[in-house]
Chain A
Amino acid sequence: DAKTTQPPSMDCAEGRAANLPCNHSTISGNEYVYWYRQIHSQGPQYIIHGLKNNETNEMASLIITEDRKSSTLILPHATLRDTAVYYCIVRVRNDYKLSFGAGTTVTVRA
């Protein structure tokens, strides 16, 4: 599977947009980009996923570059409850396994 690279930590201001980067330079054409987050001592929560087009749902937006080598998760208006570890995962279309890296620890500050 293609690997992802994320910054280990980020601070964000409450009420502002939070932009979380992810590099996946070896991604192949049949691999999706998934984003999950894990709030302390809970199971991961699904956020969004995409293949090559930008995606938006009630939680976030996912922007994938045209060459698909990187993506950005955007939380439009960060709140204190968005403090969590965010995982960017690349998954092969017909292999349902998810491989979790270290993720980005996002701290939203008032």
Chain B
Amino acid sequence: GAVVSQHPSRVICKSGTSVKIECRSLDFQATTMFWYRQFPKQSLMLMATSNEGSKATYEQGVEKDKFLINHASLTLSTLTVTSAHPEDSSFYICSARDPLWDTQYFGPGTRLTVL
């Protein structure tokens, strides 16, 4: 299947700092990417849909000023968690839609721990 990468795989930061997570589609161009969050023992929750060259669409209850999403190219989307707090600690996963196969492929995830 298609390959989607995320960086970093794990990050630990202090409360109040900002953290940027990158998501790249390595072998296809993705006009649409998605960001999910997963808390322990729970399922994935969609946070936002990222479209190349336009503003992201956020799901209800997700603060757009706290979770900044940029999708500047067809292979890269970034999620910035601003002023992170311990309750933002979670597993963040991106996916990219391959338009050729109409299928979403997921990255390996980023484990964020806010102290």
Interchain CB contact under 8 A, A43 and B93: yes
Interchain CB contact under 8 A, B109 and A43: yes
- Who on chain B is nearest to A95 by CB? B49
Q: How far is the CB of B49 from chain A (nearest CB, A)?
A: 7
Interface size of A in residues (CB-CB distance below 8 Å): 19
Which residues from chain A contact B43 at a C-beta distance below 8 Å? 87, 100-103
Given A96-B97, A97-B34, answer yes or no on A46-B46 (Cβ-Cβ < 8 Å): no
> Is A44 interfacial (CB 8 A cutoff)?
yes
> Is B70 interfacial (CB 8 A cutoff)?
no
Given A96-B104, A97-B34, A98-B104, answer yes or no on A44-B93 (Cβ-Cβ < 8 Å): yes
Q: How far is the CB of B27 from chain A (nearest CB, A)?
A: 14
Q: How far is the CB of A18 from chain B (nearest CB, A)?
A: 20
> Is B105 interfacial (CB 8 A cutoff)?
yes
Interchain CB contact under 8 A, A46 and B34: no
Given A96-B97, A97-B34, A97-B49, answer yes or no on A44-B44 (Cβ-Cβ < 8 Å): yes
Q: How far is the CB of A53 from chain B (nearest CB, A)?
A: 15
Contacting residue for A42 out of B36, B45, B102, B109, CB 8 A: B109
Which residues from chain B contact A44 at a C-beta distance below 8 Å? 44, 93, 95, 106
Which residues from chain B contact A68 at a C-beta distance below 8 Å? none
Q: How far is the CA of A30 from the CA of B105 in the complex (A)?
A: 21
Q: How far is the CA of A100 from the CA of B36 in the complex (A)?
A: 10
Given A99-B46, A100-B43, answer yes or no on A45-B32 (Cβ-Cβ < 8 Å): no
Give me the interface of A with B, judged by CB distance under 8 Å.
34, 36, 38, 41-46, 49, 87, 96-103
Closest 3 A/B residue pairs (Cβ): A43-B106, A100-B44, A100-B43
Please, could you name 17 A-B residue pairs with CB atoms under 8 Å apart, sorted by A? Answer: A38-B44, A43-B4, A43-B6, A44-B44, A45-B1, A46-B104, A87-B43, A96-B49, A96-B97, A96-B102, A96-B104, A98-B46, A98-B95, A99-B46, A100-B36, A100-B44, A101-B43
